[in-house]
Amino acid sequence: MPERVVHPPVHFTTTADGVRIAYCVHGAGPPLVFVRGWVSHLELLWEDPRFRRFIEALSRHHRVIRYDARGNGLSDREPTRVDLDALVADLEAVVQHQGARDVVLYGATFGGPIAIAFAARHPDLVSRLILDGTYAAGRHITSRARQTFITRSLRRLPDAAFLLLSHVTRPDGSGAPYDAARVRQAIDPQVAARLYAVAFATDVTDQLPGLRMPALVLHRRQSEAVPYRLGCDLAAAIPGAEFVPLAGAAHNPWEGDATAVLEAVAAFLGVSRPGPEPEETASPAALAAGPATTSLCGPYRLLGPISEGRMGVVYRAQDTRLGRTVVLKFLPEPLARDHAALERFRRESRAAAALNHPNICTVFDIGEQAGRPYIVMESLSGETLRERLAKGLVPLSQLAAWGAQIADALDAAHTVGIVHRDIKPANVFVTLRQTVKVLDFGLAKLLAPDETGLATRTTVTAPGLLVGTWGYMSPEQLQGGSVDARSDLFSLGVVLFEMATGRLPFATDPQAGLGAALGGVAAAGQAIRTDPALPAPLRPIVERTLQLDPAARYPSAALLRDDLARLCAGPHPDAVTSVS
């Protein structure tokens, strides 16, 4: 017997320009508005079991509001005005009629630019933004000739055009067979042609940098309707956006692997995933073996491990209170019982939390679970500089820009008496927007400023203790002596050299001993002056940072930053790659 479908009640509201809009509400909780934009019908879509399961999953924790935009479904079918502003007005009318605030906007396919435009105009109403299989500039979806062909076909041969579009949006043949009568129930072909023309003409690119709410961008790698690269570009242009690539070619979020979509959305919103999921607090025994992905550590749900190092085990997590993805760094179990290690970990928390800078990874919180302390940091999308260097050398202009950002971050830290002590490519993160973030102040030392204003005196670590990474440590670090801000500048000089040449400037074998390492540093100056792989404009900068005597280096990160910024702004910096 066919499943009996119970349709939800339909509500109506009117836009500012007098268009009647139909919408439905599912579930209870914080509002989530599903924005699609075209070929929508509240009742016909509800009869698709995949769509129904998708909306029901979203409504487990939210009041999901979906609507038919003008020209679609149960809304007014013959609007006189069809443009982006008019489609935003449809969304405004629904949100206002529901009295919704702190709205999660879910912009799918052609609904994405509508959601972006609304969020840019009403940032006070939008708490989070989800963009699924969408774009910022419609002209990039396909060629101009194909755009013209689609809109003309919809006007002249609509059934053939709808059939063609169904193959593009459902390349795997999923879903019910093409039915011209049902499509015409959803939208008139002439309105469809107008809406497609709007989609191709829409460009909200200039509004993306101003978005300040947390954003999640989802896109299928094999999408034929909206190319994958447009999703990547969209995520890169929104400050702090999280990007989740998905397998498959499905155009609509409820088609293809909908579970992957729902899991990504649930993680972003900080709610339980679809289907049964244990909500157990992590036990001491479980944490001893490594936190499980279903564990709760205070208000944070662990989603999976990211990495493990000698100073911490790192997990991706979800803040269940604020609905944002974060990173939790746990002190490893053996070190959790070590008083000195605990002190270094707490010092990391205090030092990093005191820093507020766009090029420093933000620390949100600290906590303890089953005797294991953890620090909560912002989640970043991109790659470490170490991962980037594995792909090849960094062009001089990009090197100078990234180097200036690292130096600016260090200047902010040094100004408040904090020395990083472990600058290396693995502790530098490059986001999708090419912004550098300095990571891991776990080895930072709180210093007391001397009478000259330059932090020089250590206060915690005993003399003679080597703290840092071999190959990047300054000579004074290698000798276990006191360090100051200039030690970080030496390490940054090593990183600059490595970005330009793909190798370190001197021997790095710890087995060779301290004398060989210091000798290598002393000999590096001459090598730098004659190394053909090092771009000539960069040579004096790197040479000054790698001086054996701290007094001969840059006296401050600010001066190094300024030199790198001038190099970046110089005439065609990438034109000069080496001088014999």
Tokens of 223: 């999408």
* CA 404 – CA 436 distance, rounded (Å): 9
**Model pTM score:** 0.49
Of 66-75, 85-94, 445-454, least confident by mean pLDDT is: 445-454
pLDDT at 230: 93
Token digits of residue 557: 């990160």
N- to C-terminal Cα separation, the chain:
82
In this predicted model, which residue has the larger pLDDT, 87 or 286? Answer: 87
Query: What are the start-end ranges of the H helices in 226-338?
Result: 228-237, 258-269, 284-289, 333-336
CA neighbor of 290 nearest in space, from 261, 322, 326, 314: 314
pLDDT of amino acid 154: 74
Give residue 142's pLDDT.
Answer: 83
What is the SS3 assignment for 237?
helix
Q: What is the mean pLDDT of residues 514-524?
A: 57
What's the angle, vertex CA 373, arms to CA 372 and CA 376, rounded to 5? 130
Which pLDDT value is given to residue 472?
86
Considering only CA atoms, which of 568, 270, 570, 561 is closest in space to residue 395?
A: 568
Q: Do residues 253 and 261 touch, judged by C-beta distance below 8 A?
A: yes
Distance separating alpha carbons of residues 139 and 116, to the nearest angstrom? 17
Render pLDDT for 420-451 as a digit per residue (tens, 0 to 9).
Answer: 888 999 899 998 888 999 987 755 554 434 33
The values of phi and psi at residue 159, to 5°, are: -65, -40
Q: Return the structure tokens found at 38.
A: 């075209």
Alpha-carbon distance of 442 to 454, in angstroms, equals: 21
pLDDT per residue as tens digits for the range 223-250: 878 999 999 999 999 999 999 998 888 8
Instruction: Kindly report the average pLDDT of the chain as a whole number.
Output: 80
Please say whether the beta carbons of 51 and 254 come within 8 A: yes
d(CA 331, CA 342): 8
Mean pLDDT of 531-543: 89
Return the pLDDT at 313: 77
Give catalytic residues, as residue numbers: 422
Can you list the domains of the chain with their CATH numbers? 11-269 (3.40.50.1820), 290-378 (3.30.200.20), 382-575 (1.10.510.10)
**pLDDT score, position 234:** 94
pLDDT bucket at 255, cuts 50 / 70 / 90: confident
- pLDDT of 266 above 50: yes
Average pLDDT in the 299-309 region?
78
**Hey, what amino acid is at 471?**
G
**Quick check: helix, strand or coil at residue 205?**
helix
Q: How far apart are CA 539 and CA 341, in angstroms?
A: 39
Residue 161's pLDDT is 57
Residues in the chain: 580
Averaged pLDDT, 86-98: 95
- The confidence score (pLDDT) of residue 457 equals 32
Average pLDDT over every residue of 5-9: 80
Burial of 43 (0-12, 13-18, 19+ CB in 10 A): middle
Task: State the pLDDT confidence band at 342, using cuts at 50, 70 and 90.
Answer: confident
| Residue whose tokens read 């100056």 | 525
Please give the average per-residue pLDDT across 381-409, as a whole number: 92
- For the cut 70, the answer to whether the pLDDT of residue 282 exceeds it is no
Long-range contacts of 558-561 (CB under 8 A, 24+ apart): 558/407, 558/408, 558/411, 560/403, 560/407, 560/489, 560/492, 561/404, 561/407, 561/408, 561/411
Residues 352, 358, 359, 364, CA torsion sign: positive
Model confidence band, residue 179 (pLDDT cutoffs 50, 70, 90): low
The mean per-residue pLDDT over the stretch 161-165 comes to: 55
Give CA–CA dist 545/332, Å, rounded.
34
CB atoms within 10 A of CB 500: 24
pLDDT band at 524 (very low <50, low <70, confident <90, very high): low
pLDDT at 576: 37
pLDDT reading at 392 higher than 60? yes
346: Cβ–Cβ under 8 A, 6 or more apart, which residues?
366, 373
Of the candidate ranges 199-203, 221-225, 513-517, the one whose mean pLDDT is the lowest: 513-517
